[in-house]
Structure 1
Amino acid sequence: MTKLFPTSTAGSLPKPSWIATPEVLWSPWKLEGEDLVAGKQDALRLAVDDQQKAGIDIVGDGEQTRQHFVTTFIEHLDGVDFEKRETVRIRNRYDASVPTVVGAVSRSKPVFVEDARFLRAQTDQPIKWTLPGPMTMIDTLYDAHYQSREKLAWEFARILNEEARELEAAGVDIVQFDEPAFNVFFEEANDWGIAALERAAEGLKCETAVHICYGYGIKANTDWKKTLGSEWRQYEETFPNLQKSSIDIVSLECHHSNVPMDLIELIRGKKVMVGAIDVASDIVETPEEVADTLRKALQFVDADKLYPSTNCGMTPLSRRVANGKLKALGAGAEILRKEQAA
């Protein structure tokens, strides 16, 4: 990546109304069979076009081909029964009905590789693909087989590594693992979670990223944030070990959060995707607001390692708001490039 301050999204973008209900997180598909396949590809093409017009440098698929950032991957694995459901507490925040691990988990075929090839064919720009991280995967299931969060995480790490290697072969430049669970289960993250993440990224020659945020702008998350006080110091718990890890890029939430900016110093040396767009608000940032967040981050991350991004995914937002935010991100990064060149 030669361009200074290359922009990207954390992952998801709103889905067009023909494929899913707008502004609804994890909305069911409106199409079936071949129509759904074509609809997903149309949505992916549109997401690429929206990003390119907004000045986004590292292009993603907007997660247009998946309903849920974790379970859509798990649906394609063996050993998990989606009919047998249990209620579990997700990231100590809200209850959800989840599928059950009933046997050894395995991946009999690629999950997102064809979609990634399709994305690769749409653009000459660098592309990024998101996968759920091992710890966040185990937090979204009921385990009736391994009876050990750690054992299951290592199995998922092995499976994720198989998928990631094929994504790399399909032309993906950055494989990102989403680990919001790192902001909740600090002890496990440090004991084995970061090691499991490294196993998922093992042997990859493309760049690897870990995205750790405070969640989508949904009520369960915004209510939780209200309990965190005036300073959110969760990153302080895992950043020292992430700094020592083999992961290339760390993606974090900054804009309109109570994360002390100086925590970024703990991952000095890593590339940092700085969340400069608030996904929990319909108010579209100005380019100057974005630039201001990035300037503050520049005190703690070298200019050639700062990647402007969004705080989290934008699925629950309207397409109009999300596009406005994408344009603000692109324009805010451009302000900073001009300042650096001056």
Structure 2
Amino acid sequence: MNSLLPTAIVGSLPKPAWLAEPEQLWSPWRLEAAALVEGKHDALAIAADEQRRAGLDIIADGEQTRQHFVTTFIEHLRGVDFEHRETVRIRDRYDASVPTVVGAVSRERPVFVEDARTLRAQTNQPIKWALPGPMTMIDTLADKHYGSREELAREFAKILNQEAKELEAAGVDIIQFDEPAFNVFFDDVRDWGVEVLELAAEGLRAETVVHICYGYGIKANTDWKATLGPEWRQYEESFPLLQRSSIDTVSLERHNSRVPVELIELLRGKRVMVGAVDVATHEIETPEEVAATLRDVLRFVDSDKLIPSTNCGMAPLPRTVARKKMAALASGAAIVRAELTGTSASLDSTAGPHA
């Protein structure tokens, strides 16, 4: 693995067509029962191999074993009724039919630990696993029990901490919490959001990441972005708080965004995952475009703390597009790495079974 500018995807990759309908979020599974379990783990192995072949340094699960980055985790919890659904406004952006919290929430058994063990067996490179953040979880539900966003978020944070510790024990090196809600509910972020996020990460030895983006490249998100004006300054609200937090790394959207690059200075001292690949377009970045994004960012983050990444997940993209974007990310990082070290650019994509 490259110790300087290690590369990684943020979250999802497109699923194989035999597992789920391509280029869709919440796509129904095309397999059932034991065949579905086997198919998910086959897809995990494929996702790991595709990242390795692209030259990425940190291997993620690509969310191959879940339909959605939030709801699949919630499906495994007690106290949530998926039969009685309500329509709620998701992140003040679009309406969605969501399950209802009807009692005390709890986790009866691990959700992703067996999947993580499967991924761990695929590679000796560092592996990263993403979990939904507490605030984003409560924004994807109707609450008929707690009556307090903060109280429900705290309960979810305790559950997430249990899961994260078991993922760590299964060999996961990096635990990521996805919190797109941090770009919307600024009062909550300030009043309790960061504190509750820290509760979810409490006691972990694994590196911790919070991912805050402007969403998948779906119409609801691109329409919202069009209303945000010439500068997207939402990060100005959360970055100073996260800079002082116990979270190790902050993951953000950058390439083709209107986020003022100087806002990254607010995170000085933290590790930063910077999105250098746009997931809202099928156009493939050139390695030089990726390199240009990274050079721009390096004015505001130390090179030993920069992790080149994607803006968000790539589930809605064609698989060929996702593969080429990952390869461009690795090649662009290699260009800048060579500039920083005075060596020639090369890709290190060697990997083998985990010892």
TM-score normalised by structure 1 residue count = 0.99
Partners in 1 of 2:242 and 2:341 — Cα distance?
A: 31
Partners in 2 of 1:297 and 1:187 — Cα distance?
A: 28
Residue 206 of structure 2: aligned partner: 206
Partners in 2 of 1:249 and 1:291 — Cα distance?
A: 21
Partners in 1 of 2:177 and 2:3 — Cα distance?
A: 23
- Residue 68 of structure 2 corresponds to residue 68 of structure 1: yes
Partners in 1 of 2:26 and 2:336 — Cα distance?
A: 35
Residue 161 of structure 1: aligned partner: 161
What aligned pairs does 1:180-329 form with structure 2 within 5 A after superposition?
A: 180-329=180-329
Give the AA of the match of 2:111. V
Residue 23 of structure 1: aligned partner: 23
What's the offset of the Cα at 1:180? 0.1
For residues 165-212 of structure 1, give each alpha carbon's deviation from its aligned partner in whole angstroms, at most 9, with x where no partner exists: 000000100000000000000110111011000000000011000000
Partners in 1 of 2:10 and 2:313 — Cα distance?
A: 6
Residue 59 of structure 1: aligned partner: 59
- Residue 46 of structure 2 corresponds to residue 46 of structure 1: yes
* Contact 2:15/2:315, CA 8 A, preserved across alignment: yes
Give the AA of the match of 1:196. V
Residue 346 of structure 2: aligned partner: none
- Residue 3 of structure 2 corresponds to residue 3 of structure 1: yes
Give the AA of the match of 2:105. V
Residue 174 of structure 2: aligned partner: 174
Partners in 2 of 1:59 and 1:190 — Cα distance?
A: 32
* Contact 2:134/2:157, CA 8 A, preserved across alignment: yes
What's the offset of the Cα at 1:326? 0.3
Q: Tell me, what secondary structure is at the counterpart of 2:98?
A: strand
- Residue 37 of structure 2 corresponds to residue 13 of structure 1: no
Give the AA of the match of 1:163. E
- Residue 332 of structure 2 corresponds to residue 332 of structure 1: yes
Residue 149 of structure 1: aligned partner: 149
For residues 110-168 of structure 1, give each alpha carbon's deviation from its aligned partner in whole angstroms, at most 9, with x where no partner exists: 00001001100000000000000000000000000001000000000000000000000
Give the AA of the match of 2:329. L
For residues 64-109 of structure 1, give each alpha carbon's deviation from its aligned partner in whole angstroms, at most 9, with x where no partner exists: 0000100000000000000010110000000000000000000010
Q: Tell me, what secondary structure is at the counterpart of 2:121?
A: helix
For residues 312-336 of structure 1, give each alpha carbon's deviation from its aligned partner in whole angstroms, at most 9, with x where no partner exists: 0000000000001000000000001
What is the CA RMSD across the aligned residues, in angstroms? 0.7
Partners in 2 of 1:118 and 1:320 — Cα distance?
A: 24
Partners in 2 of 1:25 and 1:100 — Cα distance?
A: 20
Partners in 2 of 1:106 and 1:206 — Cα distance?
A: 23
Residue 81 of structure 1: aligned partner: 81
Partners in 2 of 1:198 and 1:204 — Cα distance?
A: 10
Partners in 2 of 1:156 and 1:193 — Cα distance?
A: 12
Partners in 2 of 1:53 and 1:89 — Cα distance?
A: 40
Residue 37 of structure 1: aligned partner: 37
Structure 2: give runs of 5+ residues left out of the alignment. 343-355
Partners in 2 of 1:286 and 1:26 — Cα distance?
A: 30
Partners in 1 of 2:204 and 2:243 — Cα distance?
A: 18
* Contact 2:48/2:122, CA 8 A, preserved across alignment: yes
Provide runs of 4+ in structure 1 moved above 2 Å. Answer: none
For residues 234-263 of structure 1, give each alpha carbon's deviation from its aligned partner in whole angstroms, at most 9, with x where no partner exists: 000111010000000000000000000000
Partners in 2 of 1:51 and 1:39 — Cα distance?
A: 18
Q: Tell me, what secondary structure is at the counterpart of 1:122?
A: coil
- Residue 108 of structure 2 corresponds to residue 108 of structure 1: yes
What's the offset of the Cα at 1:341? 1.2
Give the AA of the match of 1:82. F
Partners in 2 of 1:86 and 1:2 — Cα distance?
A: 47
* Contact 2:56/2:330, CA 8 A, preserved across alignment: yes
Partners in 1 of 2:33 and 2:313 — Cα distance?
A: 26
Partners in 2 of 1:341 and 1:145 — Cα distance?
A: 56
What's the offset of the Cα at 1:2? 6.1
Partners in 1 of 2:221 and 2:181 — Cα distance?
A: 13
Q: Tell me, what secondary structure is at the counterpart of 1:166?
A: helix
Partners in 2 of 1:330 and 1:26 — Cα distance?
A: 29
* Contact 2:2/2:57, CA 8 A, preserved across alignment: no
Partners in 2 of 1:241 and 1:22 — Cα distance?
A: 38
